Each structure stands twice: as structure tokens, then as C-alpha cells.
Amino acid sequence: MIPPLTAAVVQLSSQDDVTKNLERVRDLSLVARDQGAELIALPENFAFMGEEEKKREIAEEISGSGEIMTTLKSTAIALGTWVVAGGMPEKSEDRARPYNTSVLVSPTGEVVATYRKIHLFDVDVPGAGPLTESAATKAGSEASVTEVRGVLLGMTVCYDVRFPELFTKLALAGARVVTVPAAFTLMTGKDHWHVLLRARAIENEVFVIAAAQAGKHPRNRHTYGKSMIVDPWGDVVAQCSDGEGFAIARLDFAAQDRVRALLPCLSHRRIGV
């Protein structure tokens, strides 16, 4: 039997100062750890939200020793926790278009998995103006599932949540937990955030861990927040309120097994992915 895992979602209101953003990551992660978190999830753009040219300048190699990766590794080691950080700007072969990458760091500071955001947000949102992520971000192409303390974890980023086939692919690969770091717009978040996350959890009978940005950011961006953890039955078992903070929940895998036995949807699937 797989023992329960205590997870926390950290909610930030990141700005364009990388050092200050990373200080908030460390501070909130410490408090979450002290309340029992063994896995800490950070939102999309946790290290930087601002002008695209500066994002290009701060893009790092995941295997390198830049400020972002150094902080993630040192935080995981100092706290003795797993850290799911995403997305962050990762250098690509196209200098103008770094990847938007989620990184999984072990308690020993090892990068054990990465996921490059596949679905890029090219949408003209009323009240937010056109957002063309592909103009300054290179899309990834591969799904990612890896083991965290005996549990398989799948990784996604933000807009991916609107594409159920990715989540099904992760679940069929054995994922029990799927992370969704996000910076959802206020406009779309208020109507779709809860619905989409609960649907992905119910469809695939997985825990969904969704850390989000909240508040006002440079470039007139406003994000919805409401970071949450959803269980395989679709219940929201932990949620942040407004502003920065965190929410924490115990992931009970025995309860997940009961849900999957009651409704064996994954084994009943007839259409492939």
C-alpha cells in the first residue's frame, strides 16, 4: 500500500524582480513545510512575470547554475521536500523563444523530471487583450510522468488543462497525481478554473495539484488565483483564498484506489489517445 503524501500549493503574485520573487518562494515554502508538506508545488511564472525581452534574458539551462535553478535546488535540500516548479523560462535553440518548463526537484536537489509546456496560450481575452505566448515561447512536444516516493506524477502547465487528451495520456501511463502550475487570467479563471480542474480529476481519477498566480502583474496582467488540490472524486480538498499564501492537503492513495474500483473508467476506455 502506498502511504499518503502531504502536498501544498503555493500561491504567488509574482512581479518582474526575480530575486524578490524567489524570496517569496522560499518564505512560503518554509511555512508550508513546517505545516507538514512533503511536496510543494509552485505556480507558472513563479520566478518572473514581466516584459518578454527580460524573460529571454533570464532564461536558464535546467542543468546550469543560474539564480532560478540554484534557488530551487537549495530550497528543496534545505526543506527536505520535493518541489514542482513551473513554468520557468528555459533556454532553447531559439534565443527569442525559450521553453516554458516545469521542473521537479527531489529533496536531495536533483532535477528528476522536466516538462516543456505543449499547448501555448494564443488567445484574445476580453479585458486582457491578445496574449500570444507562441511569439516568445517555444512549445514542447513530450508528456512527462515520473516517480515521487512510490507515486507516479504527471506534469502539465496552465493552458494544458483545456486538453483532456494530455491528462488521459498521463493517467494511462500510470499517473496518480497531475500538477497544473498556472497563471490563469481573471476573465477565464472565474468561469473555467474550478470546472476544468475538477473535470480532469474526475475523468482520470487522479489528484490534481494546481498552484496559481493571483493578483496584478506587469503588462496589465491580472490573474485569478484560487490555487487548489482536487481529489479523484472531484472534491476540492484544499484551496487558497485571495492573495499570496498556500493550501495543504493529504493525498490518500487508498481512497483513490477505492474510487478507481468503484468506477473503473480507465479500464473501460475504448477510444485510444
Catalytic residues: 44, 117, 158
- C-alpha torsion 110→73→115→130, nearest 10: -170
- Cβ atoms 272, 254 nearer than 8 A: no
Grid coordinates representing 7 are 502536498
Where residue 134 falls (left for φ over 0; alpha for ψ -120 to 50; beta otherwise) is: alpha
Grid coordinates representing 11 are 500561491
Instruction: Report in angstroms the alpha-carbon separations of 256 from 164, 201, 226, 234, 237.
Output: 20, 11, 23, 11, 13
Return the amino acid letter for 245: G
Instruction: Give the strand order in the sheet containing 245-251.
Output: 111-116, 99-105, 82-90, 39-41, 5-11, 245-251
Cα separation, 107 vs 254, in Å, equals 24
Where residue 189 falls (left for φ over 0; alpha for ψ -120 to 50; beta otherwise) is: alpha
